[in-house]
Amino acid sequence: MSNRFDGKVVLITGAGSGLGQASALQVAKEGAKLSLVDLNAASLEETKRQVLEVAPNAEVLLITANVADEQAVQNYVNETVEKFGKIDGFFNNAGIEGKQNLTEDFGIEEFQKVVGVNLNGVFYGMKHVLKVMREQGFGSIVNTASVGGIRGVGNQSGYAASKHGVVGLTRNSGIEYGQYGISIKAIAPGAIMTPMVEGSLKQMDPVNWEEVGKQFVQPNPMKRFGKPEEVGYLVAFLLSDQANFINATVIPIDGGQSYKY
């Protein structure tokens, strides 16, 4: 068992489900102390239960917070530093899909809601965590973008705009902070089978969503959904010291779909 995260503190948003939960499990297995943030307190408790199953000695701080609220973001960063004294890795991951619709019907409120969580939330997280990391002189940030942050998807104006924004923030801030020993990268997952994707398929067909899912993955070169733990392996590597020279860039994890004509 690798122990790349012995003595390290990893902060994760959206840690109650899907990619955040899988990444929490992976870094905990490798020795990390965890500060886990989510809107949903019950799901955080479930992640903690799973973490303690794979890493019984892990120290785990749970913080219920809305990443779209800057004060709440400042608080989760402060609480993490008060408890653990530093932040080595930050998986800036919480996000929502929003209701699928044509651009003209997307709705201003829906657009603002999706951008508020996916883009503002990521910016607030970077703003407060980067201050801590610059003072420390080290740190690694992984922002969750999406294939929808590097390609058009359709029916997802808010999602696509916010995720393209996350890629832009990553490139901009990576260039600013490399000189302080801090690396910042984004991941661009394709369709990974999490509760979010299940919800997305159910928007397309509430009854036959599993069949829709089978059709959905046919254009993928690997003809399947990704698994949350596959993203967990990538995030753990990107947050580790081994990936320090990977900076200001976006890494797809999508079975090759975003490079297919």
| Residues with active-site annotation | 159
Provide the edge-to-edge strand list for the sheet that holds 9-13.
60-64, 33-38, 9-13, 89-92, 139-144, 182-189, 249-253
**Least distance from C-beta 6 to ligand NAD, angstroms?**
26
Per CB under 6 A, the list member of 23, 24, 27, 38 interacting with ligand NAD is 38
Per-residue binder mask for ligand NAD (CB under 6 A), 165-194, x = binder = ------------------------x-xx-x
Nearer to ligand NAD, 133 or 191 (CB): 191
Q: What are the distances in angstroms from CA 175 to CA 11, 36, 53, 223, 242?
A: 22, 27, 39, 36, 19
Residue 40 binds ligand NAD, judged by CB under 6 A: yes
User: Cα(95)–Cα(112) distance, rounded to whole angstroms?
Assistant: 13
- Contact by Cβ (8 Å): 72, 43: no
Per CB under 6 A, the list member of 23, 26, 35, 43 interacting with ligand NAD is 43
Window 116 to 175, contacts with ligand NAD (CB under 6 A)? 117, 121, 144, 146
CA dihedral for 122, 128, 134, 136, sign (positive or negative): negative
- Contact by Cβ (8 Å): 205, 197: no
**Least distance from C-beta 162 to ligand NAD, angstroms?**
8
Nearer to ligand NAD, 100 or 144 (CB): 144
Nearer to ligand NAD, 134 or 230 (CB): 230
Listing DSSP states for 59-98 in one string gives -EEEEE--TTSHHHHHHHHHHHHHHHS--SEEEE------
DSSP symbol at 117? I
**Least distance from C-beta 216 to ligand NAD, angstroms?**
11
Nearer to ligand NAD, 40 or 244 (CB): 40
What residues does 250 pair with on adjacent strands? 186
Q: Which residues bind ligand NAD (CB under 6 A)?
A: 13-14, 16-20, 38-40, 43, 66-68, 93-96, 117, 121, 144, 146, 189, 191-192, 194-197
